[in-house]
Copies of this chain bind each other. A is one copy, B any other.
Amino acid sequence: MVSTRPGERVTMEHVAARAGVSRALVSIVFRGVAGASEATRERVLAAARELDYRPDTRASRLGSSRTRTLGVAFSVGHAFHGDLLESLYTHADGAGYELVLSGVTPSRSEEAAVETLLAERCEGIVLLGSSQGAGRIESLAARVPVVSVLRPVPGGGVGVVRTDDAAGLRLSVEHLRGLGHRRIALLDGGRTAGAAERRRGYRTAMRRSPALTEMVLPGGVSELEGADAARSFLALGARGRPTAVAAFNDRCAIGFVDVVRQAGLRVPRDVSVVGFDDITEAGYPHVSLTTVHQDAERLGSETVRTLADRLDRGPAGPASPPPVVVEPVVVEPSLVVRASTAPPASRGASS
- A residues at B contact (CB < 8 Å): 5-8, 52, 54-59, 61-62, 67, 75-83, 85-86, 89-90, 98-99, 101-103, 105-108, 115-116, 118-121, 143, 222-224, 227, 230, 255, 258-259, 261-262, 281, 284-287, 317-321
Contact = CB atoms under 8 A, between A and B. Distances in A.
Nearest to A318: B7
A82 B86 contact: no
A262 to B, nearest CB: 7
Nearest to A256: B286
A324 to B, nearest CB: 13
A227 B286 CA distance: 7
B116 A98 contact: yes
Contacts of A318: 5-8
A77 B85 contact: yes
Nearest to A255: B286
A248 to B, nearest CB: 17
B89 A83 contact: no
8 contacts: A7-B317, A58-B58, A58-B61, A58-B67, A86-B106, A89-B107, A224-B284, A224-B285
Given A86-B106, A105-B85, A106-B86, A118 B54 contact: yes
B89 A105 contact: yes
Contacts of A107: 86, 89-90
A13 B255 CA distance: 56
Contacts of A58: 58, 61-62, 67, 120-121
A56 B121 contact: yes
Given A90-B107, A259-B286, 14 more contacts: A54-B119, A56-B119, A57-B116, A57-B120, A58-B62, A77-B77, A77-B82, A85-B103, A86-B103, A86-B108, A89-B103, A89-B105, A101-B101, A255-B286
B118 A223 contact: no
Contacts of A121: 56-58
A172 B132 CA distance: 42
